[in-house]
Structure 1
Amino acid sequence: MSKRGRFLLILGIIACCIFFLWPTINWYGLTPKEDQVLALGSLETIKDFAGYKASEDVKTLKALAKENPGAAIPLEHAYLIKEAKKNYKLLKKNFPKEPSIRDLLAGFQNELELMNAIETMYREQILKNKRYYNNSVKLGLDLSGGMSVIVKADLEAAAKDLGKMTSDELATFNDNAMTQAVETLRGRIDKFGLSEPVIRKQGENRIYIEIPGAAEVDSINSIIMGKGILNFRLVDSEATDAFNAHYAAHPAETFTARGELLDLSIIPEDTEVLGLYTKDEYDLDERIGYLVVKKEIVLDGKHIKSADIGSNQYDGRPQVHFT
């Protein structure tokens, strides 16, 4: 092989190494520590953080526009220009060559649309870092940090309500119970969006859990050891419509950073606001609205004996049948 051929071969190998190691290089060498903490948080934490930052940015832009409408767009908000241009084009208007803050805000139909655009930017940036982590070479817990937990299942207590069973029936029950427990824990931990968590049965009644790089130890502990709660409450349709109209007009002034209402008078005293969610393309809980529900619990989950999946006889949509 000629010198040139060897050089090109070596260059190709180096390029391949950089390509496959880029997530590792980016995560360990280029991602700031505070961004790593965010990326290792739960998907709910990412959603809350992105929403809070979007709310703060909307307030900042509104304040700047009020103070000096003709001021130039701050560099940190220049990414919004692309979305504003699209909206101008839809309205068949020309976007100024040197847009001001006033021009930028005019590119969004309302405050909520602006807030959603900003929230998307924050969310995608954090998820990009999360993907770097997921595709990087993982260090051991002693180097990268993280946590490991062993959970012991009380199978005897679980089998008490079933009465007497033969040894074979008991073995089958225990095996099924442990399998279900592993899947339940896996579903809970998957909320953090981390790759390669180790969740496996250890012996007859123990489950070993290892989460490398986990940042929210307290949250993970509460999720692992917590119990699910099911209850049913009535929706106040009139209050829901009024609240959603208020939120659409004032999205940045409705909630605190902790998700609490700033003005409790906008809903009846015997109600509270809950988010209405669906899954988005990132498997995050994407809020599509709010429901105002009564605080009083109409039906508690402890009264439900079984739940079966079925379909609506009229439109075929999935349903859950309780007894």
Structure 2
Amino acid sequence: MKRGRLPLTALRSFEAAGRLGSFTLAAEELLVSQAAVSRQVKELEAELGKPLFERRHRNVRLTSAGEALLDVLSRAFDAMDASLSEIRGRRGGGLLEISSEPSFAASWLVPHLDDFHADHPEIDVVVESDMRLIEFRTHEAEIAIRHGMDARAWPRVAAEHLADVELVPVIMPCLMAEGTPLRAPADILAYTLLHEENRSAWQRWFAAAGLPDVPPGRAQIFTEGNLVLQAALRGHGVALVDRAFAAEDIAEGRLVQLFDISIRYGAYWLVARDFKRLSPKARAFRQWLLQRFAASGGS
């Protein structure tokens, strides 16, 4: 097909729908109607003579032809986006945008940012606290920090390991002094358990402690880890928290770690579209972050 006849609007609609896995989300990103996206994809399929999506009742799924085309288009659009950004000078100057999960931003990144500024006073850092998966397009951060079980959690991006997440139980000293003596792991059940998202982490911890079938008890459930840590610091109950995030509070006596039992819960990863294409200031941040975790083990 000659370049002058390439259906660029339809290709853009298909790429957004395939990348996001949804015609509705593609329409929101492109600021058009869902019907327009659907029509353009159908026209592209008619042009190619092959279906690109399997249409189901509540969602769509790429066919093998769709997967192949999406891979090519995403790389092409990313390359165009990066080139336009460089021409505009978006990543020039001293401003660096970082996207970080809220827990990491509040419990580790913000407390350590002064160290980065001391080494690189010419770089101003903008921290976007966000749990969603970003696509590293023009309007988004250049580099991100995310939690995941492995490096394959994010399609079409590069990921580098920062630190494993090790969860340990902690409690406020005054709450422990006033409540049931904590002589064995089962004694924790006398307290309110503080959970992140669901009860699965505590179930895993009790199983590691030799109690695989603990009954559900009093609970408070929060959407992210920093809220769990803050609840523990206010004496709401016993929390499972990342050892690295609670290290300072434990060292200064605001929290007490209970028992020498921990569980692994995924890891934090440094994520970017392509580490080889980072701006100089993003490369400096990446190097600083990797060195800090290598030297301190995440604390």
Normalised by the length of structure 2, the TM-score is 0.25
Instruction: Give the strand-richer structure, 1 or 2.
Output: 2
Normalised by the length of structure 1, the TM-score is 0.24
Which has the greater radius of gyration?
Answer: 1
